[in-house]
Amino acid sequence: MGGIGERLDHTLANIFLLLKLAGANIEAKIINEKNVIYVINDKTEICGDIGDTLSLIPVGGDVSGIYTEGLKYKLSGRTIAMGSPIGVSNVFTSEKAKVKIESGYLLIIKSKD
C-alpha cells in the first residue's frame, strides 16, 4: 500500500523501484484507492470490472510480443516503443484481462475512475 502521493518525484522513484524488483523476479505492487500498479516481464491476469481502465506502458526500453485478451483494444504480437502512448487507457470488456509479453518490462496500471 502507498507509494503514490502528491509528490511526483516520490511516485516516479517508487515506479522505478517496481522495475528493479521485477528484474530480480520479485513481485511488488503499488496500490491506492483508485490504482493498482506493477511491472511484468512475462504474463499476468488482472481481475476488474467491465469498463475499468488498464494501461500498458513500456519501462526500461521497448516491449515486444505483447498479447492481450479481455480488453477493448486487443494487441496480438505488438511491439510498443518506450515513450509511446499506444498502450494507455485500454478498457476491460470482461472481468478478467490477460497480458503476455515476449521481451521487455511492461508497467501495468489498472485504474478505477
pLDDT in tens, the chain (113 residues): 457 777 899 999 999 999 999 999 999 999 999 999 999 999 999 999 999 999 999 999 999 999 999 999 999 999 999 999 999 999 999 999 999 999 999 999 999 87
Q: Could you tell me the three cell numbers for 27?
A: 513481485
Q: Give the per-residue pLDDT at 2.
A: 58
Superfamily of domain 8-111: Thiamin pyrophosphokinase, catalytic domain (3.40.50.10240)
DSSP class per residue in 29-72: -EE-SSEEEEEESSEEEEE--TT-EEEEEE-SS-EEEEEEESBS
CB contact at 8 A, 4 and 35: yes
Alpha-carbon torsion (88, 42, 20, 17), positive or negative? positive
Q: Give the per-residue pLDDT at 7.
A: 86
Q: Give the per-residue pLDDT at 68.
A: 98
Residue that the C-alpha cell 502528491 belongs to: 6
Q: Give the per-residue pLDDT at 40.
A: 98
CA 19/CA 95 separation, integer angstroms: 26
Q: Give the per-residue pLDDT at 113.
A: 78
Domain ranges of the chain: 8-111
Q: Give the per-residue pLDDT at 71.
A: 98
pTM assigned to the model: 0.92
